[in-house]
A and B are shown apart, each in its own frame.
Chain A
């Protein structure tokens, strides 16, 4: 049995749990371990689903069929415009925006007037909506109490008032923790996300219970409904209401970002832009799931309670109760409570910021300037104002709820609220994408739209409730027919919401555009327009500083910060700022444009951009730049941006060129180093024989009485070394010629066999002297190649004399073999000498590197023979290499291509 006290205890326990979740979220945020993930962010967006969704959708479905779905299709489509939302978030972060009023005011020159207007519209539009939540809570409690026949009264106060007090307490506790309204309320967001889970679970549980527990599933429900003409109508869409359908999609699409609580959650509380990627589909999925069972519940309720006069708005509770499922009813009650409290908490926090910053502060700063100046620390006062605003808004909501009762003005308020906040759309979108939109235009648009809304929607709802005469609705204002409130200029056949939407948008957009085009922005507006519209491109660093000129005392600015932020927070922010400018202490910073900007931004976070501007202006003598100058600076900035893009392109080209140059330089340096090494090596090679020649010559010269034997020996060494020197010089010159490509070549048909035989003949003497056997395996004639005969002979002789040098005398054997294969002539000179290691096999082809330790034969080699030979062979398209292993002799092989056979 659900007694009143039991319900009270459950509700209290649930709110206690909510407190715990919020505290946990805040504690984690304070510890730097935020629990706001992409999923939490997406779920918190579902604060959109209030008790109007939880209870009201079913009610709407009982009369309008599927038309309730438009309220959720609009947000789905709007959210897909991620670019728009990201731009709003980016602008808000850059400008320290605290609310939608602040956003619009900041864009149009930090206008206090606009901020105030937006706040008033929001409060008028949204307070009744808060009342609706209280009403839903009261109604749900009533249903449960009716069922149990009990009641709850505490000190003579009704439960709804108590609930409002608890909610105010919650909002104050978790919504005004920081003075800086741009600081996120992670505890509050966590609690809202938690509530979103609770409400969808509760709603779907009831939906499943009714659909599959009370009836035989979706098909059964629809079938039964179709039998009744009354209910069958709900299953079909009414195409005569096509206009309404579209209008509601547009309206709800705008509401999802412009309702103060939605702006708060989507923009102000956003931790990370990338969370939108999840929200873009998870939030619509949430909406889809919570709506699947709305129509079945409506049909189920109508079928079950047909003609009993049960309020369809309570079907979610009454259906389970009718079947005695009290626990489920309690869960549904908690779900409804979640939907209502979530909305109330976020909405009051968002509204209180707007009321404090955009209504109270300007009045306070203007009318009691002296009082404000006298007080040292205003941060406490600010928090106090915000808390009072929360309490006041909830109180207003409660009073409205009490006063309205069952009046139409309350029941229909959901869409009326939507239509109110839709008036922000032209100024918002225009402000984000159209630099020419001016403050005068925004004021005119908002005012026109608001007046039309008031006249065609809010006041008629009052009239319907019987609070005022309904003459202006039925007969037109002053009896003028075309001023009929819901058929302006005779436009009839529309429902009141579409009627209001189209007329108010026409007036709003028309006035905004027309006035904007016929007014000139002032300097601040022009620069703010640039900062908003070009937020992705605005070069803050270079432009900001030029947009402010004047004199400011750092002490006055710091004092201002301390007074509004509190001394501790001000110091903390100053320190952060100083380190961002690479200063150790803010006192060493000049009170330049950047400092003023910083101070203003900090203040804007606390008291809104409009009030912040006024406060900064009160302590800094700002020079009036004038519109022309500001526009010049902005133009320049645009040009600079274009130039800097060009510059960037140029710079990239330059960097590429530099890299190439560096590479080329590196190559040159490498070549230079190689040349240097080469010269050093050549020098060494030349000096070595010179050393012997000089030393021996000097000794011969000094001592004429030297023994004949020594004399002869010395002279023969001198002759040998001189020969070596000559050979060396010749080969170096030869090498240089080959390498530089200046060598002369006499190319003709050369019989390689003949060359081999002649070369062997010319070295015969050498071989005989050392007693080394030389044999050949060479064809009688040919093969014939195109080459320089003398050069090939030089290669052959070089290979043969190398071979004879390294084989042992007496048992040495050198064999020459010549053959053709695969279009190449292959010449091999094989010896049975000591052989070469793999390393030596490649090293010997480098200049001045000789194989082995050939102490005795050293003067014979110059270390250039093989490199020269290789150059020659390669010139004719061939190769020269050695195949060898230590102890296995060496086989020097070169190839020369055969001339291509003539066709």
Chain B
């Protein structure tokens, strides 16, 4: 009879946990060089960040969640 934990909250928390290794070292030292004149690190950080936000928006705003 234990009530199931809220799946939306769990998915969001999982996203947060996923974000920690992606946005810290040592993974952060992977991107190097540049793409179209823009430093890869800059693109990587903002890219991962935007990806997390997009996923969070999808999880949080989904109907029925």
Residues of A at the B interface (CB closer than 8 Å) are 66, 69, 73, 76-83, 86, 218-220, 222-223, 226, 235-237, 239, 242, 245-246, 249, 277-278, 280-282, 284-285, 288, 292, 295, 645-646, 648-649
A237 and B41 contact, CB distance less than 8 A: yes
A649 proximity list for chain B (CB < 8 A): 1
What does DSSP make chain B's interface, helix, strand, loop or mixed?
helix
Once the chains are docked, how many angstroms separate the CA of A288 from the CA of B5? 30
B49 and A288 contact, CB distance less than 8 A: yes
A219 proximity list for chain B (CB < 8 A): 36-38
Q: Return the chain B residue nearest A83 by Cβ.
A: B9
Closest Cβ of chain A: how far from B29's Cβ, in Å? 5
Once the chains are docked, how many angstroms separate the CA of A401 from the CA of B42? 35
B10 proximity list for chain A (CB < 8 A): 83
A80 and B13 contact, CB distance less than 8 A: yes
Could you write out 26 A-B pairs with CB less than 8 Å apart? A69-B45, A73-B49, A77-B16, A77-B19, A77-B20, A79-B16, A80-B12, A81-B12, A219-B38, A222-B42, A223-B37, A239-B26, A239-B28, A239-B29, A245-B24, A277-B8, A277-B60, A278-B61, A280-B60, A281-B53, A282-B57, A284-B56, A285-B57, A288-B46, A288-B53, A646-B1
A278 proximity list for chain B (CB < 8 A): 60-61
B15 proximity list for chain A (CB < 8 A): 80
Once the chains are docked, how many angstroms separate the CA of A878 from the CA of B26? 82
B36 proximity list for chain A (CB < 8 A): 219
B25 and A239 contact, CB distance less than 8 A: yes
Once the chains are docked, how many angstroms separate the CA of A76 from the CA of B52? 9
Q: Total A-B pairs in contact (CB under 8 Å)? A: 107
Once the chains are docked, how many angstroms separate the CA of A246 from the CA of B22? 12
A292 proximity list for chain B (CB < 8 A): 46
A-facing mask of B24-56, CB < 8 A → 1, else 0? Answer: 111011000010111101100110011011101
A80 and B56 contact, CB distance less than 8 A: yes
Q: Return the chain A residue nearest B14 by Cβ.
A: A80
B46 and A284 contact, CB distance less than 8 A: no
Q: Return the chain B residue nearest A65 by Cβ.
A: B41
A78 proximity list for chain B (CB < 8 A): 16
A245 proximity list for chain B (CB < 8 A): 24-25, 28
A80 and B1 contact, CB distance less than 8 A: no
A66 and B41 contact, CB distance less than 8 A: yes
Closest Cβ of chain B: how far from A251's Cβ, in Å? 13
B23 and A284 contact, CB distance less than 8 A: no
Q: Return the chain B residue nearest A216 by Cβ.
A: B37
A235 proximity list for chain B (CB < 8 A): 39, 41-42
B1 proximity list for chain A (CB < 8 A): 645-646, 648-649
Closest Cβ of chain A: how far from B24's Cβ, in Å? 5
Closest Cβ of chain B: how far from A656's Cβ, in Å? 15
Q: Return the chain A residue nearest B48 by Cβ.
A: A73
A80 and B38 contact, CB distance less than 8 A: no
A239 proximity list for chain B (CB < 8 A): 25-26, 28-29
B8 proximity list for chain A (CB < 8 A): 82, 277
Q: Closest 9 interchain pairs by CB? A: A219-B37, A80-B16, A242-B25, A281-B57, A281-B56, A277-B60, A83-B9, A235-B39, A239-B29
Once the chains are docked, how many angstroms separate the CA of A237 from the CA of B26? 11
Closest Cβ of chain A: how far from B44's Cβ, in Å? 10
B28 proximity list for chain A (CB < 8 A): 237, 239, 242, 245
Once the chains are docked, how many angstroms separate the CA of A94 from the CA of B6? 20
With A73-B23, A239-B25 known to touch, is A222 a contact of B37 (CB < 8 Å)? yes
Once the chains are docked, how many angstroms separate the CA of A646 from the CA of B1? 8
Once the chains are docked, how many angstroms separate the CA of A82 from the CA of B16? 10
B23 proximity list for chain A (CB < 8 A): 73, 77, 249
With A83-B13, A86-B9 known to touch, is A284 a contact of B37 (CB < 8 Å)? no
A82 and B19 contact, CB distance less than 8 A: no
A277 proximity list for chain B (CB < 8 A): 8, 60-61
Q: Return the chain B residue nearest A644 by Cβ.
A: B1
B42 and A76 contact, CB distance less than 8 A: no
Q: Given A80-B12, A284-B53, list of 11 further CB < 8 A pairs?
A: A76-B49, A80-B13, A80-B16, A220-B37, A222-B42, A237-B41, A242-B24, A280-B56, A281-B54, A284-B56, A288-B49
Q: Return the chain B residue nearest A646 by Cβ.
A: B1
Once the chains are docked, how many angstroms separate the CA of A663 from the CA of B30? 69
Once the chains are docked, how many angstroms separate the CA of A69 from the CA of B28? 13
With A80-B19, A81-B16, A280-B12 known to touch, is A222 a contact of B56 (CB < 8 Å)? no
Q: Return the chain A residue nearest B9 by Cβ.
A: A83
A77 proximity list for chain B (CB < 8 A): 16, 19-20, 23
Once the chains are docked, how many angstroms separate the CA of A236 from the CA of B42? 8
A76 and B53 contact, CB distance less than 8 A: yes
A288 and B25 contact, CB distance less than 8 A: no
A222 proximity list for chain B (CB < 8 A): 34, 37-39, 42
A66 and B42 contact, CB distance less than 8 A: yes
B24 proximity list for chain A (CB < 8 A): 242, 245-246, 249
A86 proximity list for chain B (CB < 8 A): 9
B9 proximity list for chain A (CB < 8 A): 82-83, 86
Q: Return the chain A residue nearest B29 by Cβ.
A: A239
Q: Return the chain B residue nearest A292 by Cβ.
A: B46
B6 and A83 contact, CB distance less than 8 A: yes
Closest Cβ of chain A: how far from B2's Cβ, in Å? 8
B12 and A82 contact, CB distance less than 8 A: yes
A295 proximity list for chain B (CB < 8 A): 42
Closest Cβ of chain A: how far from B41's Cβ, in Å? 5
Once the chains are docked, how many angstroms separate the CA of A222 from the CA of B26? 24
Once the chains are docked, how many angstroms separate the CA of A226 from the CA of B56? 34
Q: Return the chain A residue nearest B20 by Cβ.
A: A77
B6 proximity list for chain A (CB < 8 A): 83
A285 proximity list for chain B (CB < 8 A): 53, 57
Once the chains are docked, how many angstroms separate the CA of A282 from the CA of B53? 8
Q: Return the chain B residue nearest A220 by Cβ.
A: B37
A218 and B37 contact, CB distance less than 8 A: yes
Once the chains are docked, how many angstroms separate the CA of A177 from the CA of B42? 46
A646 proximity list for chain B (CB < 8 A): 1
Q: Return the chain B residue nearest A649 by Cβ.
A: B1
Once the chains are docked, how many angstroms separate the CA of A292 from the CA of B6? 34
A281 proximity list for chain B (CB < 8 A): 53-54, 56-57, 60-61
Closest Cβ of chain A: how far from B23's Cβ, in Å? 5
A76 proximity list for chain B (CB < 8 A): 19, 49, 52-53
Once the chains are docked, how many angstroms separate the CA of A280 from the CA of B20? 16
Once the chains are docked, how many angstroms separate the CA of A289 from the CA of B13? 23
Q: Return the chain A residue nearest B50 by Cβ.
A: A288
Once the chains are docked, how many angstroms separate the CA of A81 from the CA of B24? 18
Closest Cβ of chain B: how far from A570's Cβ, in Å? 38
A246 and B53 contact, CB distance less than 8 A: no
B53 proximity list for chain A (CB < 8 A): 76, 281, 284-285, 288
B57 proximity list for chain A (CB < 8 A): 281-282, 285
Closest Cβ of chain B: how far from A537's Cβ, in Å? 9
Once the chains are docked, how many angstroms separate the CA of A291 from the CA of B25? 20
B26 proximity list for chain A (CB < 8 A): 239, 242
Closest Cβ of chain A: how far from B30's Cβ, in Å? 10
Q: Return the chain B residue nearest A242 by Cβ.
A: B25
A73 proximity list for chain B (CB < 8 A): 19, 23, 45, 49
B49 proximity list for chain A (CB < 8 A): 73, 76, 284, 288
Closest Cβ of chain B: how far from A409's Cβ, in Å? 30
A82 and B37 contact, CB distance less than 8 A: no
Closest Cβ of chain A: how far from B16's Cβ, in Å? 3
